[in-house]
Amino acid sequence: MMKAIRILFLLVVISASFYLFPSIWNQNPVRAVILSVAVGGGVILVEYLFTRLSPVYFISFLISMFVAFIFTIVVNIFLKNIEFSVNPSALNIISFIIFFYLCLSASVRLLRAKLIAGKSLKSEIIIIDTSAIIDGRIADIWATKFISSRLLIPRFVLKELQCIADSQDPLKRVRGRRGLDILNRMRKSKIDIVIDDQNFSDIKEVDAKLVQLAKIYNAPILTTDYNLNKVAELQGVTVLNINDLANALRPVFLPGERLKIRVVKEGKEYNQGVGYLEDGTMVVVEEARHLIGNVLDVEVKSVLQTSAGRIIFTRRINNR
């Protein structure tokens, strides 16, 4: 869609130049077309860059342009009556470039130093993907005040969530409706949620759109999607994975510590019993295969960390 709009804009610029500068078209039509395309292409390039700049650099650019323009006028007035061997137009261009560079570097530093609005733009926004909404734990995390940032939900994420809720697959449909219910619950609470309408029509995959949006806002992505986590990290985008947070908050058990565990099923190895802690951590108990359904006092032998989580290996404290 954006490509069509940009091509249409170029055609409008060429047509406008034909009516505004007929003398150039009469003298050299090829040159007129090249100049028109160059002007239109320059405008499109600026628009393209602005849509991909973070707010910090965008605001800095605008401030720098304005201040540099004012300073250039002041210098021009001050040096108006002084004779120079340098061409006045060249002097104005050089003055503008110098002031623009100084203002741009200074404004970027000021914004990054939190001298505007009292805090950095990066800490204000967290972008949420579909998996984090369906997961639902974000609402509870926000309620505990561990996260106080504004939550940004892209419009294309809402569209993806709606498509999942309307899926013919019963499992996907249940997950999608759960996500919509959680989103409505978050909206009814006092969670600060913002809907972003940027669509990136030239990008097809939702994950790629999320990464692009995170780059624009210089903001982290909140997700439970392992693949998105890796793709975003490869492109330098900060990722907040709820599963990583859950793993980090699980209690640490050292060899020799004691706990109570209910054996619920047989283990894979001979004479093993298996139980689970409240957070879902698997506990393997030696010589407990015949004690399914009983609550045992056990002692930790070792802890194994796997990609699926932790497994705690224990032995019974007594043989009763």
Cα–Cα distance measured from residue 172 to residue 185, given in angstroms and rounded to the nearest whole number: 20
Higher pLDDT, 207 or 305: 207
DSSP string, 110-173: HHHTT-STTS-SGGGEEEE-HHHHHH-HHHHHHHTTS--SEEEEEHHHHHHHHHHHT-SSHHHH
The mean per-residue pLDDT over the stretch 147-158 comes to 86
pTM for this prediction: 0.52
Mean residue pLDDT of the chain comes to: 79
Rounded mean pLDDT of 6-29? 77
Amino acid in the structure at residue 231? V
* CA-closest candidate to residue 160, choices 124, 192, 199, 123: 199
Distance CA(220)–CA(127), nearest Å, equals: 6
- Asked whether 311 and 302 are in contact (CB, 8 A), the reply is no
172's tokens: 């996907």
More confident residue, 105 or 131: 131
Q: DSSP letter for 119, please.
A: S
* Contacts with 113 (C-beta within 8 Å, 6 or more apart), sequence order: none
- What integer pLDDT is reported at residue 226 of this predicted model? 86
Q: What pLDDT is recorded for position 210?
A: 93
2, 47 contact by CB (below 8 A): no
Residue 297 contacts residue 318 (beta carbons within 8 Å): yes
Which tens digit of pLDDT belongs to each residue from 247-292?
A: 777 777 888 899 999 999 988 888 899 999 877 788 999 988 888 9
Q: What is the pLDDT of residues 190-231, one digit of tens each?
A: 778 888 888 888 888 999 999 998 988 888 999 988 889 889
List of domains in the chain = 1-119 (no CATH), 125-248 (3.40.50.1010), 254-316 (2.40.50.140)
What 3-state class would DSSP assign to 194?
A: strand
**Which of 27-36, 122-131, 182-191, 279-288: highest mean pLDDT?**
279-288
Residue 240 in this model has a pLDDT that exceeds 80? yes
Q: Are 223 and 129 in contact (CB under 8 A)?
A: yes
pLDDT digits (tens, 9 = 90+) for 32-90: 778 777 877 777 776 666 666 556 566 666 777 777 778 777 777 776 666 655 566 66
